[in-house]
Chain A
């Protein structure tokens, strides 16, 4: 289950943000430093990361880089102080979700975090759906893929049969098998499923 994680070296901030998110009915998990988060091994459960840009030891930006290197793609929102805006803008360019300047408008921060979390969830489910389609396509035989490409191109069964040098009957069997394996009932539906994959 994806959660909102907060990394900040100021205990007051961590505590205050914890209260804030709880007051909106969400729980958050907080870490006092980047090293603590990495060391916890909980990183895979993170759906949205609120990251203080200035910290002792590993800074927020360094943690951001580390996440990229290790293939974690959760949205990151930087919490910045005065004078760190250029740094934060640089982070956005590198793919961070957003940054908020301290002192921030708190409910807006919660909204941004929830939106990011939501986006992350959507991304996760989209990826899961795409993966399911891939798995179905993988079940098709070579001949069935040839037939499917022609069906998607809108060719009639007759044309397909003459193209491939088989009988109409064979094409119809292939077609039925494709629809069955892909879990669809019509060519239109098949096209929609495959379009989602792309």
Chain B
């Protein structure tokens, strides 16, 4: 699977376009204008609606007023007609009465009708209007007056003409309204009749209108006399469709705003996430580029999909060149190509998911070979799909070279250490040899002198000669030990007794110990099993341990400078312990004690104990140390028993 998207995730992303100032201004201004337009539209619709209602109301009021006037005028005409016919006397009085009753019944508030033959000129209420009506030839209305039962009445005078008198009708305003105003009107409006002082004289409805803005008043003439009709609309019935539309528009507007806000929030989060991702990516790239470990990603077919700079430096090919390659890779060392190929195929076959590190040999572009340590791990994408393999590649050439160098140096140092020990020993022994030789020379000269000047008898010569002899033996012993020490050739394992080795070592160290005022005592087990060992080497180990013990006691008072050497045997083998009474080994030193180049001595090389342990291990033995009772340290050397 070659997933280009996977590769692209590792490529640096282009820097994003930063949003300019107007980027956010335009939608904000548009939203403000939009809300303004919506508000205006709603307001305008409302206004329109009110205007329409008002004009309807005015039309209705005008119609109402016309209707009332029409009834009043018709009543007046009928009253005049009835009056004239009654005056003619052509009709039966019963008919007249029936007509009058009929008129009252349909008279829209007409309470009664009566005939007035003549009017007293002195009657101030009737004379004026009566004359006016006579002159104009039409009905005249009298001012309204309140009655005892709280109603307001007004009268109308209808001239009959020709001196026949007048007809007088009395109206109840309340009755008039009750009978004239149709139901649909009463349902929509409150109709009041008011006078000059705004006092309500009669009202169609007792229920008060809820708001007063929507009202209209016009002169109620006839009857006149300052009466007015006032109409107040009840709460305008809300019309469903426009209201629904407005609600929908406003709702949609808010939905739009909310979605815009949500979008913006989403956008901001997305930008933040992108920024974080970018930083993370930069950080990871920097980290990866700074690594000295090579990183290599491969897809499931084994093609390289990603390498870091360290890997490129290691193999000498550029990332682009490596991406285009497919196995066998040119950086596989030809001699190991088959082996690597097998491993490679094994990994691709998914044979293992968690590998231990592999040590392989790679070749650089310039032909130089180097050792690498490769760890493979499966590469899993965000969806959990296994898309390839990730390997870390560590160049271990230097490490291997260092190990090899260390091994060689170790060998050399062991050799050098042995030489140095020998050199020191030889120097010490040469010095030690001088002593008996000088003594012998002096004794012999003394003897010669005595013989020459005849100052001594033969018996006198006996004592210096015997002493000379003893000194010669002393020198001989030293010489023999040196000889044996130096005569060592190749390591030779022979069956030997550790007791003998200890005694020989003690013989060599004796002079040194005496010089340092150290008492060495030994406690050797009888009948020790033989061990198979190079006795010179073991002796050297012992000498080293003894010398270390003596060094450890350098700071002690002379009476405490005691070194105890013991041998013993058990089922596991034979052991020698060297116990000093120094100040012991501090814990921080203890675990480094056998490390090469670790030393506590100002002029030490730090090889002694390291070499000792190597020698002991060469003999399949063990060398360790313990704290001694009462201070100091015991070094214990244990060798397996047997031939």
Contacts and interface: CB of A to CB of B under 8 A. Distances in A.
Contacts of A20: 442-443, 445-446, 449
B445 A12 contact: no
A104 B438 contact: yes
Contacts of A82: 427, 430-431, 434
A103 B433 CA distance: 9
Contacts of A56: 515-517
Contacts of B515: 56
A16 interface: yes
A23 interface: yes
B449 A107 contact: yes
Contacts of B438: 13, 16, 79, 102-104
A160 B605 CA distance: 83
Contacts of A17: 442
Given A23-B455, A23-B456, A12 B446 contact: no
Contacts of A102: 434-435, 437-438
Contact of A10 (B439, B443, B446): B439
A83 interface: yes
B431 A81 contact: yes
A70 interface: no
A15 B447 CA distance: 13
A103 B444 CA distance: 12
**Which range holds the interface residue count of chain B?**
20 to 34
Interface in A13-54: 13, 15-17, 19-20, 22-25, 54
B450 interface: yes
A32 to B, nearest CB: 13
A10 B435 contact: yes
B449 A16 contact: no
Contacts of B446: 16, 19-20, 22-23, 106
B436 interface: yes
Nearest to A12: B439
Interface string B426-470: 010011001111111111111111100101100000001001001
A12 B467 contact: yes
A34 to B, nearest CB: 15
Interface in B467-503: 467, 470-471, 474
Nearest to B464: A19
B545 to A, nearest CB: 23
A20 B442 CA distance: 6
Interface residues of A, number: 24
Contacts of B427: 82-83
A23 B434 contact: no
A82 B432 CA distance: 10
Contact of A107 (B436, B443, B445, B447): B445
- Quick one: which of B437, B449, B464, B516 has the most chain A CB within 10 A? B449
A16 B448 CA distance: 13
A20 B444 CA distance: 8
A104 to B, nearest CB: 7
A56 to B, nearest CB: 6
Given A12-B471, A17-B442, A23 B435 contact: no
A16 B431 contact: no
A12 B449 contact: no
Contact of A25 (B436, B455, B467): B455
Contacts of A13: 435, 438-439, 442
B425 to A, nearest CB: 14
Contacts of A10: 435, 439
Contacts of B442: 13, 16-17, 19-20, 106
A26 B467 CA distance: 20
B441 A104 contact: yes
Nearest to B468: A16
Given A15-B439, A81-B434, A103-B437, A23 B449 contact: yes
Given A24-B449, A56-B517, A83-B431, A16 B437 contact: no
Contact of B441 (A54, A83, A106): A106
A134 to B, nearest CB: 43
A41 B444 CA distance: 32
A74 B430 CA distance: 31
Contacts of A25: 453, 455
Contacts of B440: 16, 103
B441 A103 contact: yes
Interface in B506-520: 515-517
A97 to B, nearest CB: 19
A10 to B, nearest CB: 5
B339 to A, nearest CB: 61
Contacts of A106: 441-442, 444-446
B15 to A, nearest CB: 78
A12 B431 CA distance: 15
Interface in B339-395: none
A45 B279 CA distance: 95
A34 B447 CA distance: 29
Nearest to B515: A56
A50 B523 CA distance: 40
A12 B450 contact: no
Interface in A108-145: none
Contact of B435 (A12, A19, A83, A107): A12
Nearest to A108: B445
A103 B467 contact: no
A17 B447 CA distance: 12
Interface of B: 427, 430-431, 434-450, 453, 455-456, 464, 467, 470-471, 474, 515-517
- Nearest 4 pairs between A and B by C-beta? A16-B442, A106-B445, A23-B449, A19-B446
Given A16-B439, A17-B442, 20 more contacts: A10-B435, A10-B439, A12-B436, A13-B435, A13-B439, A15-B467, A16-B441, A16-B442, A16-B467, A20-B446, A23-B455, A23-B456, A25-B455, A79-B438, A82-B431, A83-B427, A102-B435, A103-B434, A104-B441, A106-B444
23 contacts: A12-B467, A12-B474, A13-B439, A16-B442, A19-B442, A22-B446, A23-B447, A23-B453, A23-B456, A24-B449, A54-B431, A56-B515, A56-B516, A81-B434, A82-B430, A82-B431, A83-B431, A103-B437, A103-B440, A106-B441, A106-B444, A107-B445, A107-B449
